[in-house]
Structure 1
């Protein structure tokens, strides 16, 4: 959704209204699940998908109506018979799609703020009245900015949104039915080291949904020009490289610095966080030397057992690009385990 959000704010900045289609619920076998989105402009340009086939064709027809009238719409699809065949489905299911129009100007400012909050690692809730009206944006953790909603309504929305992972329809205390959409920031990946392995690792990781921060003590190796896909790329003394970063259980740390001394230093910092994944590049001989140093600093075997070293899945990788694939594959695997997904 992060990429689609960038597309949406970009289109709105060009002064064009945008129709946004969101799958609200799905049951049975459907081509896409709740939360999938499609964007459509008046000139026919589109981005994203709600599954293709006849469902998407009908959604696009409805999007044209929404762009013209401004009226929001809920569409129900029973994917049997002709619709199932058009969606290339073996068995049928049901889905509901919410269509709305977003205009440039004040409405666009809300989505700009949403994008900025997500880029900063803040989880948000977007509440959109189904029958028209002003959207509200709530931050879910940390400092809470005013939403413009009555306190009892806002509290009710926060309680309804607790632990939801996909959109839901909720009727609040004021009697208004709203689409509640949780926007969870990409999990943070800290890449310590800006060298030849860091380049492809950070790039592939960004492609598969990580919010990447690249850190090195050499400005020529850690800067936005070298890592344009990174949310953060900065030069900082390695003993302070994790300062100011919110490294919690959903975060990952990949240590690919240029030498044993830096690796040991960053690993000692990473093991003081609650990062869900900590990996360090290097041979087993190097690992043993670093571990011995950390044991003398007071780290336990339980601490060291958290570390994936040698980093990455064992796929026989040799080149920096192949090593990057193995690292990111392990990052994806670790992320899936933390999210409780079947492997």
Structure 2
């Protein structure tokens, strides 16, 4: 969930304010935001988050105000026509499908409690997956939600079969970095969105769509890697124990630079299902410390630099210490795609290419 929308939902619950939540569920053509983008609209027209700005967002806000008045959720196709795009100076022209739902903070204590529990889980870094009914045979199911944490869940989609499917799919998609849609027939069988058998659609949202890159080691490869990763859209954290390397002058684009002992620093860093960990420290000893600390974390990716011989020796040492072979086999090493890279900048490119490849594989 977008941080601004999270703040807005907390405000709505605390002050018992009426609101509507807009979620981009699919896009066609050129659009300013991708599926998963959200905006919370209050009855006074104020907003948290964005679905792209301009006339398109204004139209979405108007529809959200209608939902607040009617208290009925709806699907709305926002046509970002060429005329609107030209007026706003944007190169758009596609269509965004929006699911707009009424956020009931007043009459329904059940839904209010659900949102409170869900936001608490987000705040506690439990990485809940949120499932919402956005299309159904019966309108009363629209907007029903399920929050899933490991084997535990809160809420109800309104059908036992939908709950079961949501739990199964959420487990498989726990490491996805982008929301996805589950399409089902009236018999709760998978189908294509274009199929005439389509009856149910479930929107599955990971706890965050922001991919976090944790770079352990602030040497020469880390500088171009942090810069390029930020351009791609990652939230970048760099860790090193040398003040002359781990500083904001050297890493001006990074979101966070931590100068501390690797082991201590990793105690303060959250590693979740959308975290990619790159271990490029200055030596075998530090690599080992870092890998030992992160290997059992739920990271989407753990990669480590080094020759095959060096890496094999390090992994053997950790296995001797009692770390499971299955966990160690998930380490990407030698790190990066093989493109014949030689310079620090080229090596950074091959590492980033591998991160993007893994991320896309997770999202399919």
Q: TM-score range by the shorter chain?
A: 0.5 to 0.7
Confirm whether residue 152 of structure 1 aligns to residue 161 of structure 2. Answer: yes
8 Å contact kept, 1:13–1:104: yes
Please list, as runs of the form range in 1=range in 2, the aligned pairs for 1:276-295 lying within 5 A after superposition.
Answer: 276-278=301-303, 295=313
Distance 1:261 1:93 in 2: 51
**The residue matched to 2:133 in structure 1 has which SS?**
strand
Distance 1:13 1:247 in 2: 27
- Which residue of 175, 179, 183 maps to 2:206? 183
Change in 2 beyond 3 A, CA 1:333/1:121: farther
State the 1:3 CA deviation: 1.2
Cα RMSD, aligned residues only? 5.3
Distance 1:93 1:238 in 2: 48
Q: Which deviations, in whole Å up to 9, do the C-alpha atoms of 1:41-70 show, x marking residues without a partner?
A: 223321222233322221111222222332
What TM-score results when the alignment is normalised by the length of structure 2? 0.58
Which segment is superposed worse, 159-168 or 75-84? 159-168
Distance 1:297 1:60 in 2: 54
Confirm whether residue 143 of structure 1 aligns to residue 155 of structure 2. Answer: no
**The residue matched to 2:96 in structure 1 has which SS?**
strand
Distance 1:64 1:209 in 2: 33
Confirm whether residue 269 of structure 1 aligns to residue 292 of structure 2. Answer: yes
State the 1:278 CA deviation: 3.4
Aligned positions, number: 299
Q: Which residue of 1 aligns with 2:180?
A: 166
Distance 1:58 1:209 in 2: 30
Change in 2 beyond 3 A, CA 1:40/1:192: same
Distance 1:306 1:271 in 2: 17
Unaligned runs of 5+ in 1: 217-228, 281-286, 317-325
Change in 2 beyond 3 A, CA 1:211/1:90: closer
State the 1:336 CA deviation: 1.6
Confirm whether residue 339 of structure 1 aligns to residue 359 of structure 2. Answer: yes
8 Å contact kept, 2:39–2:49: yes
Please list, as runs of the form range in 1=range in 2, the aligned pairs for 1:54-203 lying within 5 A after superposition.
Answer: 54-80=55-81, 82-86=83-87, 88=89, 92-104=93-105, 106=109, 107-118=111-122, 120-128=125-133, 131-132=139-140, 135-139=144-148, 142-145=150-153, 147-148=155-156, 149-158=158-167, 165-167=179-181, 177=200, 179-185=202-208
Distance 1:278 1:57 in 2: 43
Q: Which deviations, in whole Å up to 9, do the C-alpha atoms of 1:196-250 show, x marking residues without a partner?
A: x9xxx8xx98x9555979899xxxxxxxxxxxx98xx9x99949968xx8788x6
8 Å contact kept, 1:166–1:181: yes
Q: Which deviations, in whole Å up to 9, do the C-alpha atoms of 1:151-184 show, x marking residues without a partner?
A: 3231244467665843466566699855523225
Distance 1:334 1:116 in 2: 34
What TM-score results when the alignment is normalised by the length of structure 1? 0.61
State the 1:189 CA deviation: 5.3
8 Å contact kept, 1:251–1:275: yes
Change in 2 beyond 3 A, CA 1:275/1:151: closer
Distance 1:165 1:331 in 2: 25
State the 1:102 CA deviation: 0.7
State the 1:21 CA deviation: 1.3
Q: Which residue of 1 aligns with 2:248?
A: none
Unaligned runs of 5+ in 2: 189-197, 242-254, 320-328, 337-342
